Structure 1
Amino acid sequence: MSFLKANSATGMNAPSPTPSSSSASGKRKRPTDGAPPVVYSQPQDTGTGEHVFTRLTYVNDFLRERKEKWHTFDDIMEYLNIPPGHIQREQLRQLMRADNAGNRISWDSTNERYKYKSKLSIHDRAQLKGHFQTQKSAMGLQIKDLKDGWSTVADDITKMENKKEVLVRRAKDGVPKTVWGNDPSLMLPMDPVFAKAWHSVQVPDNPDELRKALLANKLTAATQAKVIVAAPTNKKKKGPRRGGKQTNTHMIGILKDFSGMRK
């Protein structure tokens, strides 16, 4: 055990600390003027933005900004700066070809080209008019859904509105929100005599006066309280019950009568 004592005598003593800018009292000294700044150690690269699903988002943004044409797989990998042989190349290839509703990428298997898939397959004025002409209902389309694949939809919708080709609902600030199809041939001019007679009718601003005017013309006001009339009931009242149902009436003369013993 003598080697332990030797080591404990020579090697167990802690080395003296390196000089620092801290004083013995624990307060940090002010750096002297003109001294070079202290460079502290920096954390290593954490790999932010290199996750496969994060890069898939970058692919969607890349294709959305260039949705007018198809792009090869190598062009997309070059944009992401992913070298050949990287494991994420095959992972992204499978994600970009996934057949699900959440995938916004179209895939052409002929020569492996990719393109952004918008919410609606409407990208210009002609396609919008064709959609309204073939639809079976009169439902409108949201401008935000059209903008996903049609960047100039707001300006083009305004031009179509001026030509009476569509009907547009706008917000208070004038931004278009919803668009419907319109047939200009159905918009007939109004008779000036009828229009003058229509605008000559003065509608009272006071709701009470409006209600009185409607009642004076034998019209029902919308604010009139509904009177619920109970339907007449023709049901007969049931009389008092007279005992139970009599059975064995054909044996009345044979059986003994115990009715007198009832309490």
Structure 2
Amino acid sequence: MSFLKSSSGPVAAPSPTPSTSSNSNNKRKRPIDDVPAGTVHSQPADTGIGEHMGTTFGWAIKELQRRDPEWMTLTEIFDYLGPTVRDNPQRRGQLKLILQSPSSERIEWDGEDKFRYRPKLPVRNAEQLKGFLQQQKSAQGILVKDLKDGWPNVQEAIEVMERKKELLVTHNKKDGSARTIWMNDPTLMHKVDPSFLNEWHKIPLPANPDDLRNKLVAAGLKPCSAPKEIVPVGPKEKKKKVPRRGGRQTNTHMAGVLKDYSHKRK
């Protein structure tokens, strides 16, 4: 059984087979390194702006608003929307009907082949703003945010017209920007004589409000800050409780049979 005896020294592990890459100093290249420079990989197809007709119509309105007041032809609109509309006759026909429909409130159609954006208010410059305000039949102000729909730079024009006294303007407290405007007639603006202003400001006002009230009362005037007289109100009289009457009597046909207990009512 000599073959079962252990050897005199430790058994060495077999050495791995040397590979070509381990002997050389060159690093193994990744597959991507073998691709020539300038190679264009696969890209998703240009599908335009979406396939839903509502989305397509929304993008068309945004482009018309961006180009306002310019007109766009149907071909220009189809080219902007991309191949999903341009290369699809059915979708082109659907969009054409929507653009030409009277229910499209934000689209203006010339009756032939051109379209443009229709803002909330037909105002795009200062002259149109004056004409629009002159046509108003009420004293209701015009919101500046509605004017911005068709005139993005309306704030600058409002500041110029306000300095010329052509507009009455209310401003936002946060940033001082114009909020609401009304028509104004500069010919009705009159300057006060400086001498009158000087005499007006020379009139001293009493520091104590009570003194001012007393002077007004002495002059036979009723001051707005007069104390309100409190009229004493007496206690309200309590209503006497009316005794409750009996309910509707029934069984009258048995009056001679039943006993009468009406005298015992409280």
For Structure 1 versus Structure 2, the TM-score category normalised by the shorter chain is 0.5 to 0.7
Report what 2:130 is aligned to.
Answer: 129
Q: How does 1:42-53 map to 2 (within 5 A)?
A: 49-51=49-51, 52-53=53-54
Separation (CA, whole Å) in 2 of partners of 1:33 and 1:229: 106
Report which stretch shifted further, 52-61 or 170-179. 170-179
Shift of the 220–175 alpha-carbon distance from structure 1 to 2, 3 Å rule, reads closer
The one of 189, 195, 218 equivalent to 2:197 is 195
Shift of the 171–203 alpha-carbon distance from structure 1 to 2, 3 Å rule, reads farther
Shift of the 126–48 alpha-carbon distance from structure 1 to 2, 3 Å rule, reads closer
Show structure 2 runs of 5+ residues with no match: 1-26, 33-41, 218-222, 234-262
Report what 1:64 is aligned to.
Answer: 65
TM-score by length of 1: 0.61
The one of 96, 113, 116 equivalent to 2:99 is 96
Report what 2:210 is aligned to.
Answer: 212
Q: What amino acid is aligned across from residue 178 of structure 1 in structure 2?
A: T
Instruction: Return the offset for 1:214.
Output: 4.3
Instruction: Return the offset for 1:98.
Output: 3.0
Separation (CA, whole Å) in 2 of partners of 1:220 and 1:227: 16
Report what 1:11 is aligned to.
Answer: none
Separation (CA, whole Å) in 1 of partners of 2:95 and 2:229: 65
Q: What amino acid is aligned across from residue 225 of structure 2 in structure 1?
A: A
Instruction: Return the offset for 1:64.
Output: 0.7
Pick the structure with greater CA Rg. Answer: 2
Q: What amino acid is aligned across from residue 124 of structure 1 in structure 2?
A: N
Q: Secondary structure of the equivalent of 2:86?
A: coil
Shift of the 167–59 alpha-carbon distance from structure 1 to 2, 3 Å rule, reads same
- Asked if the contact 1:214–1:221 (Cα under 8 Å) also holds between the matched residues in 2, the reply is no
Report what 1:138 is aligned to.
Answer: 139
* Seq. identity, %: 34
Paired residue total? 205
Separation (CA, whole Å) in 1 of partners of 2:199 and 2:29: 90
TM-score by length of 2: 0.61
Separation (CA, whole Å) in 2 of partners of 1:72 and 1:226: 76
Separation (CA, whole Å) in 1 of partners of 2:204 and 2:96: 69
Report what 1:178 is aligned to.
Answer: 180
Shift of the 117–48 alpha-carbon distance from structure 1 to 2, 3 Å rule, reads same
Name the Cα RMSD after superposition.
4.0
Instruction: Return the offset for 1:63.
Output: 0.7
Instruction: Return the offset for 1:33.
Output: 9.7
